[in-house]
Amino acid sequence: MAFANSAVVGSKLGSRWFQLIVGIVCMALVANLQYAWTLFVVPMETKNHWSGAQIQTAFAIFVLVETWLVPLEGWLVDRFGPRPVVMGGAVCVALSWIIDSLASSLPELYAAAVIAGLGAGCVYGTCVGNSLKWFPDKRGLAAGLTAAGFGAGAALTVIPIANMIQSSGYQHTFLFFGLFQGIAILVLALSLIRPKPPVAVTSIKRVISSKVDYTSPQMVRTPVFWVLYLMFVFVAAGGIIATAQLGPIAKGYGFAKLPISVAGFTLPLLTMALSIDNLLNGLTRPLCGLLSDRIGRENTMLLVFVGEGLALLGMRSFGHDPYAFVFFAALIFLFWGEIFSIFPATCADTFGGKYAAANAGTLYTAKGTASLLVPFASVLSSGGSWDLVFTCSAFVAIFAGITAKIVLAPMRARWIANTESADEMTNRSFQEAG
C-alpha cells in the first residue's frame, strides 16, 4: 500500500501540468517584488526624506540583478535541476524585504534590492525555463501561463498591501509579506522536479522551430539573437517605466488618492489602477502566448507592440482625466505583459529546447537593460511633465512591432532553414562514414 501511494504521488509530481501550476504559483509569490514596489515609494520618501530618483535607483538595481544573473541561474537549473535554485531564491525573497523593513539608509535599501533581484531571478528563470522544456508543443501558452503568475500575482495582494501600509506602515508590510512569500516559495520548491517532456509532440504549422540545440555562448554570436534582444529592450522600456513610476505619475497628476468607482467597486485611484493593471498584465501573457502559437510569433508582436505604442500616446494625451488614466494604464499593461511569453517562446523556437533555461535567461537580461531607463525617465519628467517620456516610449514600441514583421520574421526563417540544412548534411556525412 505504501508503495502504491508513493507511485501515485510520484506520477502527480511528474505531470507536466502539475509542474506548470507549481511554477505559476511560485511566480505569483515573487510578483510583489516588482509590481507592488510603487506602493512603497511615496511612504519611504516621506519617512526618510529620500528623493524619488534615489528610491527608484533601488528598483533599477533590483531589475538589473533579477535579469542579468538569470543566465547563470538558468545554467544552474540546466545542470542541477529546479529545486535547489528555487529554494535559494525563496531565502533571498524573504531576506530582501526583511532588510527593506529595517533600512534607514540608501546603501541598506540598495543591498536589499540586490538580494531581491537574486531571489526573483532564481524563481523567474527556473519557472519559465521549465515551462519551455515541459511544453515544446505549446511554448507560447506554457510560457504565457507561467509569466502570468508574475504579472497577475500582485493583483491578489496589492489591496492587502496598500491597506496594511495605510494601517500599520510600510515597514511592517515589508516584514510580513517578505516572510510570507519566502516561506511559501520554499515549501512549493520541494515539489519541483527536472522536466520530462513528452517524446512525441504535435508541431504548430504557423510556428517555425529549430531542430538544433544551441548553447548560450553559441546563441549570442548570432545576429538574430541581437535583433530579438534590441526589440525586447525597446518594448520593455515603456512597461517598466509605467510599472515603477505609476504612483509618482498619479501623484503628479494630483489624483493618486482620489476615490474612483469601477464596476461597483470604489478604491483610491492608484490602488484601483494597480489592481486592474496587474490582472490584465497577467491575462495577456497566456492569451498572447496562445495567439502566437496560432498566428505566428512575429504577427503577434506586430499587433501588440503597436498597441502598446498607441496606449502610451493615449496616456500622454488624455491621462490627466482620472478615468482615462485608469483606462490607458490598463492598456499599457495589457499590451506590454505579453513580451514575457512571446520572447522566451521565440527564443526556444529559434535556438532549441535543450538549453532553454539558460538561453531564455540570457535574452531576459534585456529587461535589465531596459530598466536603466527608469531613473532617466525621472530626469526627463523633472519639470513635472511626462509627455516626452510617453512619446519616446511609444515610438520605440511601434518601431519594435514593425521590425518584428519586416526584419525578424525573414531573418529567423532563413536562420532556421540554414541550420537545419547544415544539420542534415552533418547527419548524412556521419551515415556515409558509418
Please write the tens of the pLDDT for every residue from 30-65: 988 887 888 898 899 888 888 877 888 898 889 888
pLDDT for position 430: 37
Q: CA separation (Å) from 290 to 21, 75, 197, 250, 300?
A: 17, 27, 19, 33, 10
Measured CA to CA, the distance from residue 351 to residue 213 in angstroms comes to: 6
Q: Is residue 431 situated within a structural domain?
A: no
Q: How many domains does the structure of the chain reveal?
A: 1
Q: Is residue 207 situated within a structural domain?
A: no
Q: Is residue 216 situated within a structural domain?
A: no
Q: Is residue 51 situated within a structural domain?
A: yes
pLDDT for position 177: 94
418 or 409, greater pLDDT: 409
Q: At what angle do helices 269-295 and 297-318 cross, to 10 degrees?
A: 160
pLDDT for position 20: 93
Domain that holds residue 105: 10-195+222-421
Give the lowest-confidence range in 10-24, 339-353, 370-384, 397-411.
370-384
Q: How many CB atoms lie within 10 A of CB 243?
A: 26
pLDDT for position 182: 95
Measured CA to CA, the distance from residue 389 to residue 319 in angstroms comes to: 13
Q: Is residue 382 situated within a structural domain?
A: yes
Q: Is residue 215 situated within a structural domain?
A: no
Q: Is residue 379 situated within a structural domain?
A: yes
pLDDT tens per residue across span 100-143 = 999 889 999 999 999 999 999 999 889 988 888 888 888 888 98
Q: For residue 433, is pLDDT > 80? A: no
Q: Is residue 71 situated within a structural domain?
A: yes
Q: For residue 368, is pLDDT > 50? A: yes
Q: Give the predicted TM-score (pTM) of the model.
A: 0.74
Q: Which domain CATH number covers 319?
A: 1.20.1250.20
Q: For residue 67, is pLDDT > 90? A: no
pLDDT for position 138: 84
- Which whole number is the average pLDDT over 156-165? 86
**In the chain, % of residues over pLDDT 70:** 88
Q: For residue 306, is pLDDT > 50? A: yes
283 or 13, greater pLDDT: 283
